[in-house]
Amino acid sequence: MQNELENENPEIQDSSDELYERFTITIDKGQEPLRIDKFLTNRIEGATRNKLQQAINLGMVMVNGASVRPNYKIKPLDSIIVYSDMSPDETDVVPEKMDLNIVYEDADLMIINKPAGMVVHPGSGNYSGTLLNGVSYYLQQQNPAISEDILPRFGLVHRIDKNTSGLLVLAKTDKAMRQLAKQFFDHTVKRQYVALVWGDMEKDAGTIIAHVGRNLRFRKLFEAYPEGDHGKDATTHYKVIERFGYVTLVQCILETGRTHQIRVHMKYIGHPLFNDDFYGGDKIVKGTVYTRYKQFVDNCFQICQRQALHAKTLGFTHPTSGKEMFFDTELPEDMEKVIEKWRKYASTTGNKK
C-alpha cells in the first residue's frame, strides 16, 4: 500500500528560514482506519508524536479542508494537509530578561528588529542569550500561563541568521501562528533585504534561480545547485541601489526563504556579501591588493564585523483583522558607517557610478 506524499524531503529539518513546512498526503484506497497522529508519525520523516499532536491541536492539520482532532481516524481517499514545524525537539527555552527592540506589538503578534550577533533560538552551542530566551521572558511577564507547550517556540514562524540584522514577526496566539506560518509557506509575505556585495554588478536588476541545499561535504555550509538535483527551489530578485566600484549596495527580494539564500545566491553569481566569512566575502574579492587599499578594506571589516546584510522590510496580512501590515527599518549603524566609508572612497578614486 502506498499513500502519495508530496514534499517528503530529508532536508525538511534544515533547509529553510521558514520554520513551517507543508505536507500534502492523499490516502490510498486500501488504507485501514488509523488515528491520524499515529499515521503521520510513521509517514513524515523527522516528525514526533508530540509535535504532530501540537500541530493538530493548533488547527494546522486539515483533512478534506477542515481541522480535525488527534483521535480522528483516516479513511481511504482522505486529503491531508499538514502545516507544521517538523524539526527535532530542541533544548528547553529558558526565559531570560533582556532588551528587545520591539517595533510593533498587539494582542496577536510582535515585530522585533533583531541586532546582528544574536541567535534566534536555542540550539547546539547556544543555550542562552538567544532572541527566544528574551521573548519567552517578555511574554511570560505579560501572561505567566504562557509556556512553550502552549505556544511552541514562543510564536516563532521564521528566522534570520545570527549575523544578519533586521525584522522578525512572532505570533502571540495559536491562531496568529497558524495564519502567519501559512503566509510564509505560500510566499505571500513581502521581505526586502539590503546587502553590500563585492564587485560591480553587471546588471541594474536581475533574478537568481538556483536550488539551495546543504553542501554535501561541509554540513554547516549551503550551496547553490542550478540543475535542481539537490536542495530546494530558491528565487532571489535583486536591484542595484548604489555602485561604489569594488562593492555594490543592492536590494534583495525573496520569493522563497531558504537558509542562507541571499548569501549563497550572491556567491553563486560571483558577488559574495561583504565580510561574509562563510562564503568568501571576508577577504579582498575585487580591487588591486596594495598596501593602502588593503588597509582601507581591513578598516571596513573592523567597522562591519559580519556579513553586511539587513532584513529591512516586512509585509504581511494581519492574521485577525485582515489588514495589510508593512514595516520598515533604518540600516544599522555598522552598515551605515561602512557604506559611507565606501561612498567616500569611491568618490575620491573615481570609482563611484
Active site residue 149: no
Asked whether the CA dihedral 216, 218, 220, 223 is positive or negative, the reply is: negative
CA distances from 324 to 113, 170, 183, 190, 320 (A): 19, 16, 12, 11, 11
Q: Which of 17, 37, 78, 161 is catalytic?
A: 161
| Nearest alpha-carbon partner for 42 in 1, 90, 91 | 1
Q: Which value, to the nearest 10 degrees, does the dihedral of the CA atoms of residues 41, 43, 45, 46 take? A: -10
Classified as helix, coil or strand, 200 is coil
48, 42 contact by CB (below 8 A): no
Kindly report the number of other CB atoms within 10 A of residue 352's CB atom: 15
Question: Which residue type does 240 have?
Answer: V
317, 323 contact by CB (below 8 A): yes
Strands 324-328 and 165-171: unpaired
**Grid coordinates 530546494 are at which residue?**
232
Strands 165-171 and 309-317: parallel
Q: Quick one: DSSP state of residue 273?
A: B
Kindly write down the DSSP assignment for every residue of 111-159, as one continuous string.
EEEEPTT--SS-BTTB-SSSHHHHHHHHHHHH-TT--TTTSGGGGB-B-
Q: Which value, to the nearest 10 degrees, does the dihedral of the CA atoms of residues 126, 132, 133, 139 take? A: -170
What amino acid positions are annotated as catalytic residues? 161
